[in-house]
Chains A and B, each alone.
Chain A
Amino acid sequence: MEPTVYKFILRHSLRQQFVLLAITLASFPFLYLSLDLPKRIVNQAIGGKNVPTELYGFPVDQVSFLMVLSAAFLALVFVNGGFKYHINTLKGRLGERMLRRLRYELYARVLRFPLPRFKKLSAGEIIPMITAEVEPLGGFIGDAIAQPIFQGGTLVVYIAFIFVQDPVLGAAAVSLYPFQGWLIPRLQRHVNQLGKRRVRAMRQIADRIGETVAGVQEIHNHDASAVHLADIADRYGDIYDIRFEIYQRKFFIKFLNNFINQLTPFFFYSIGGYLVIKGELSFGSLVAVLAAYKDLAAPWKELLDYYQQKEDIRIKYEQVIEQFQPPDLVDPAILHAEPAEPVRLTGTLQLNNVSLGEEGAAKILDGVSAALPLDRHVALVATGSTGRDELAQLYARLLRPSGGSIVIEGREFDQLPESVTGRQIAYVGAAPYLFYGTLRDNLFYGLRHRPLQPPRYDAAGEARRQRRVREALASANSTDDLAADWTDYRAAGCDGPASLAERTRSLLRQLDFDHDVYELGLSGTLDPRQAPETAARILEARRGLRQSLSDPALRGLVEPFDPERYNVNATVAENILFGLPVDQRLTLGSLADHPYMLSVLDKCGLTEEFIKIGRDVAAEMTEMFAGLAPGHEFFERYSFISAEDLPLYQALLQQADKDGLKALTPANRSRLLSLVFKLVPARHRLSHYTETRARRVLEARAAFAADLPDELKGAIEFFDPEAYTSSATILDNILFGRVAHGKERAQKKSLGVTIRSAVKNHQLLDEVVDVGLNFQVGVAGGRLSTVQRQKVGVLRALLKNPDLLVLNDPTTAFDPSTRSKLIDLVREVQKNKGLIWFVPQAAIAEKFDLVIVARSGQIIESGSFAELNRQGTAFHKLLSEA
Chain B
Amino acid sequence: MNISEEAAFLKKIPMFADIEPAKLKLLAFTSEQVVFQAGETLFRQSEPGDAAYLIIEGAVEIIADTPAGSFILNRIERNEVVGETAILCNSPRTATVRAATPLTTLRISRDQFFELINEFPTMAVAIMQVLAQRLVHTTDMLRQATIKLPKSE
Contacts and interface: CB of A to CB of B under 8 A. Distances in A.
Contact of B25 (A620, A683, A687): A620
Nearest 4 Cβ contacts at the A-B interface: A687-B2, A624-B26, A685-B2, A742-B33
Contacts of A744: 34, 36, 40, 42
Interface string B12-50: 000000000011011011101111100011100000000
B64 interface: no
B89 to A, nearest CB: 20
A756 interface: no
Nearest to B24: A624
A686 B2 contact: yes
Given A626-B22, A744-B42, A685 B1 contact: yes
A685 B29 CA distance: 8
Contacts of A741: 32-33
B29 A624 contact: yes
A667 interface: no
A687 B4 contact: yes
B29 A638 contact: yes
A627 B42 contact: no
Interface residues of A, number: 20
A336 B136 CA distance: 79
A685 B3 CA distance: 6
Given A624-B29, A684-B29, A685-B2, 17 more contacts: A620-B3, A623-B25, A624-B22, A624-B25, A624-B26, A626-B22, A627-B23, A634-B26, A634-B115, A637-B30, A638-B29, A638-B30, A685-B1, A685-B28, A686-B2, A741-B32, A744-B36
Interface in A260-317: none
B26 to A, nearest CB: 4
Contacts of B77: none
Nearest to B51: A745
Contacts of B40: 744
A331 to B, nearest CB: 56
A687 B7 CA distance: 13
A628 B33 CA distance: 23
Contacts of A743: 34
B3 A746 contact: no
B80 interface: no
Interface in B51-100: none
Contacts, number: 48
Contacts of A685: 1-3, 6, 28-29, 33
Nearest to A626: B22
A640 to B, nearest CB: 10
Interface residues of B, number: 21
Contacts of A637: 30
A296 B100 CA distance: 101
A625 interface: yes
Contacts of B33: 685, 741-742
Contacts of A742: 32-35
Contacts of A684: 3, 29
A744 B32 CA distance: 10
A788 to B, nearest CB: 22
Contacts of B25: 620, 623-624
26 contacts: A620-B25, A623-B22, A623-B25, A624-B22, A624-B23, A624-B25, A625-B26, A626-B22, A627-B23, A628-B26, A634-B30, A637-B30, A638-B29, A684-B3, A685-B1, A685-B2, A685-B6, A685-B28, A686-B2, A687-B2, A687-B3, A687-B4, A741-B32, A744-B34, A744-B36, A744-B42
Interface in A616-630: 620, 623-628
Contact of A627 (B22, B29, B36): B22
Residue among A623, A624, A743 with max Cβ neighbours from chain B (10 Å)? A624
Contacts of B6: 685
Contacts of B29: 620, 624, 638, 684-685
Residue among B2, B23, B35 with max Cβ neighbours from chain A (10 Å)? B2
A628 B115 CA distance: 11
A683 B2 CA distance: 10
Nearest to B1: A685
A624 B4 CA distance: 11
A746 B29 CA distance: 22
Nearest to B40: A744
A686 B3 contact: yes
A625 B1 CA distance: 21
A297 B107 CA distance: 82
A685 B107 CA distance: 14
Contacts of A625: 26
Contacts of A683: 32
A604 to B, nearest CB: 25
Contacts of A634: 26, 30, 115
